[in-house]
Structure 1
């Protein structure tokens, strides 16, 4: 497309008219890929180079699927590719099964410069096994069920008469499901959309989440003051279209409903190149803030990570201001590849939600959708929100706008009664957000569980202790009373971006985010770097995992403290699985907090077997000290459900110590609820042993073994 700009004289001088200074010249940083600043990590790819890399990923898809052990009914569809400075590639794929989209089927394949596969990160590991893609429920019945199951909207109604048939692979065992979009009144007003996923056999609820990934809050007038904007001239008129940032266009939604912000929208157009007056009396003023904020967000990603727009393809997303009525909300919607900003309500003097950190937050939701595509529910939803808070904050620092200096407060310009919307240094200060991980983190609102990720990022950036940043008081406190220095916000952001774009998948939880960021820190700064060590310290400080040994002095971090379960304590680490995989080794994704099954206590448990096909897997813990006195015992809670019948043991779960089988449970031990089991370990008194739960399933009919609250004492 030919760029239309102002006359050469205006280009050279830059027009300063009214309250907006409009610069029409091209910034050097965006002139060409060659001008992008060299950074550790990913290369800046031209449009042609990126297209070639995507084409290579597409050609490799079939061979990649076979190499990963996927089934013949599965296909990989290339989504994105990132190339390291040394030529290594990270190719992101979505997955289909017999032509149906697989929710939770995304994966990233890592290839060396010579093309060898060096590893992969998969939301669902292994092949999809599904007996049939013929649903037992009719599509219209699924839509009715979705309306009944809607949790995020009131007076729900289905957008269409029929839901979309998908394979839901977020849990351990994939199931055929319907994905239905419902609309109703949400917290931020009418026409809020929610995705509801129901089992295609029984109509039971599998998952639900808002489709608007939002910051609920308020604006405080025109936040950015007098700023420079890129606009486009066509004949004698100008539009708020930014040709230097992917032709990002700013529209006056004219109070269109949030479900369709373009309904009455008009592109901001006028005959002069002066926009807004700094107040709500001029509808252009909100457009100025949106245009400036989105341009700064684009520049931040481009100049910091060599990323060209939301989808890394150089295309800008349209933005709509003045959306709906009394809308205390702003959101990114991937279905329309657009952003919407409300005007607030009487609760905040009807001021728009177009501050710098909000613009950066919403555009970053698009980046997340284009990369890890973190599910907007459970812990992955908290990570999704935290990612937007993190990069919205970084955009605020990057913009260096005197009217909105950088800090770690979210929405401090939004006229909230508390003076902010969220605080990264002390998330719990708002009375709702979590600052420390706990076993219920996956069941709270994603805007509140985001506090864990926000707290981690602040500590990784700034460390502990009191500071004044951007004129605001900050205090980096921890959940474990530790004290340490940070690595700086730029390094912390580089670690998070690489983890998001190269290692996280749609189902990543906080434990997985720790793993991804430690790998990213190793890539960028070295396995034994102080940066990687301090990243681990920051995670431990928010109760996610333990710190790595200090590479500076070689002193190991203290071992995790086990939770006592009685007078004799528990020799096992993390026996209730509430710290995820900490202390345990698993052969598959057995340790989970999936809501498809119920834990005995807390939210986490080990879900073993249940495939309905020949399979083996194990969960084990090594170097467990069996007490030398008394009568030591291994106790655990076990629930067995099966499609088998009779007393013949077709599918088994064996309890092993140092490889010797001490107890065997099978489909014949099926029970309606958890049953406590006990295994005598007297013969191992005073020894350090390996405790293992080993499952085996035959080729027919499924048996599921759920294990929880394991103790040795």
Structure 2
């Protein structure tokens, strides 16, 4: 067996999310983190890219990784590999690890080690508590064939630990194109001993210029008179390109002589570029200004936005493999899916992939989608555009339904005809774009409250499962609780019950045990039928 490279070992759960619908439910075990001395101290520290890189490098030293592996009781064949480090203002750290066993990626083996400012270990959050003991050389006869579709990848041997007893398995990525027209990256997990399919999940997550949706906006560009491009050096090199209705490649750079882009209509190809570029910039500013994260991976590096994908493609998607957002032009190529909240939704998938990396299927997939909707709302409220008034609706500008209604409603998700308002035992079997309604509804109840409400002229009427009357704590507190839970407490297999635990832990660290905020988190989860301590 050829040993894996460091990059292969660390990419145990590499995946890609789409805005529109085209399970796994594994509990998370762990202890509540500690080390924060005060509410302010529990907030993420605002780190530069260089500071973040230094933290990751220190945590990824062989000495540090070995010490944590021994303290956690991992076996001799197991190694930890740092994926991300969050540091709070108090100095407490939360190091997210992916795991290998005998050099093989362990899917569902990720964990977060919590330490105080002094370096004392205060807790650990694991995707699974199951011990690993598998024969890594067994059952080569059941190796699947490589799929013939373009973009498919040869099977790789892994340890599947996301559900039940850890098992030696193969992961095969099937390429090609989905029915919607989006690229296909279907990850199929099969038992190495029997050839039986254990699980599958989709990798592609289908989610001054004159813009179509936000009016006259300022965007970051580079170049000089006669030759400007949509490259934002002030935001890590965020770049926007034109696919010209193609479905592959990097796209061609947008260029302009006088640095004035688009005409506010879809007739000018640059207009969609302006919207996408503006959305990427506002999302960058949101995560840096609100959560102290410079760049969606925390490393100060920008991402690519590709517009004009395909022909009449009514969707948008994030793809980890290119670290990029891709946008179709909508029905009749007249309504590009480049509104601010859609851009923020797609870019936020990148934040999830570089932190909790919630598996894009079942309840964890619903939480993945909801995370993008939650942060998209946060971006809207921070941008506070008079042309796109902040609200708790998703995709209201792009008219994807053709009747002026939004794609999703956070106050009562079922108003779209398919999304779930409340959790039940079958939530993990529902498409992730609709099971996301549970967390979206929770976030609305936590931010705004239940019953009839009006925010920025938009009227809402949010019910609760237990008919409770709830008062919100405001989006500013709610978004910080969700970000802290995502980056410090959630793992790849987090389900709704564990999301309750994670957000309660985050709220406790931020605002103190027994605080009004902690009580509001618990009440909001109960309001969507996710109950517990």
* TM-score, normalized by the shorter chain, greater than 0.5: yes
* Cα distance between partner residues in 2 of 1:310 and 1:534: 28
5+ long unaligned stretches in structure 1: 1-37, 145-155, 216-220, 549-713
> Displacement, 1:50?
2.1
Query: Which structure has greater strand proportion?
Result: 1
SS in 2 for 1:203: coil
Of structures 1 and 2, the one with the larger relative CO (CA 8 A, separation 6+) is 2
> Displacement, 1:170?
0.4
SS in 2 for 1:137: helix
Query: Which structure has greater helix proportion?
Result: 2
Partner of 1:45: 47
Partner of 2:464: 478
SS in 2 for 1:90: strand
> Displacement, 1:177?
1.4
Structure 2 counterpart of 1:354, from 315, 338, 344:
338
> Displacement, 1:131?
2.5
* Cα distance between partner residues in 1 of 2:153 and 2:176: 15
CA contact (8 A) 2:225 2:258 kept: no
Q: State whether structure 2 residue 111 is matched by structure 1 residue 107.
A: yes
SS in 2 for 1:515: helix
Structure 2 counterparts to residues 383-532 of structure 1, below 5 A: 383-415=367-399, 416=401, 417=403, 419-532=405-518
Structure 2 counterpart of 1:128, from 126, 132, 138:
132
Partner of 1:377: 361
What value does the CA root-mean-square deviation take over the aligned residues? Answer: 1.7
Partner of 1:87: 91
SS in 1 for 2:186: strand
Deviations 1:91-119 (A, max 9, x none): 11111111111111111100111111110
> Residue 478 and residue 363 in structure 1: after superposition, are their counterparts in 2 closer, same or farther (change >3 A)?
same
Q: Which 4+ runs in 1 deviate beyond 6 A?
A: none
> Residue 418 and residue 205 in structure 1: after superposition, are their counterparts in 2 closer, same or farther (change >3 A)?
farther
CA contact (8 A) 1:142 1:178 kept: no
> Residue 403 and residue 418 in structure 1: after superposition, are their counterparts in 2 closer, same or farther (change >3 A)?
closer
Structure 2 counterparts to residues 60-459 of structure 1, below 5 A: 60-139=64-143, 141-143=144-146, 157=149, 159-160=151-152, 162-189=154-181, 191-215=183-207, 222-234=212-224, 236-257=226-247, 260-262=248-250, 265-346=251-332, 350-415=334-399, 416=401, 417=403, 419-459=405-445
> Displacement, 1:189?
1.6
CA contact (8 A) 2:170 2:192 kept: yes
* Cα distance between partner residues in 2 of 1:118 and 1:56: 19
Partner of 1:35: none
CA contact (8 A) 1:196 1:209 kept: yes
CA contact (8 A) 2:48 2:294 kept: no
Structure 2 counterparts to residues 632-651 of structure 1, below 5 A: none
If the length of structure 1 is used for normalisation, what is the TM-score? 0.66
* Cα distance between partner residues in 2 of 1:250 and 1:477: 40
* Cα distance between partner residues in 1 of 2:75 and 2:311: 50
SS in 1 for 2:50: helix
CA contact (8 A) 2:262 2:271 kept: yes
Q: Number of paired residues?
A: 487
CA contact (8 A) 2:152 2:176 kept: no
> Displacement, 1:306?
0.5
CA contact (8 A) 1:158 1:180 kept: no
Partner of 2:37: none
Partner of 1:54: 56
* Cα distance between partner residues in 1 of 2:182 and 2:56: 40
CA contact (8 A) 1:261 1:323 kept: no
* Cα distance between partner residues in 1 of 2:518 and 2:183: 44
5+ long unaligned stretches in structure 2: 1-39
* Cα distance between partner residues in 2 of 1:345 and 1:198: 38
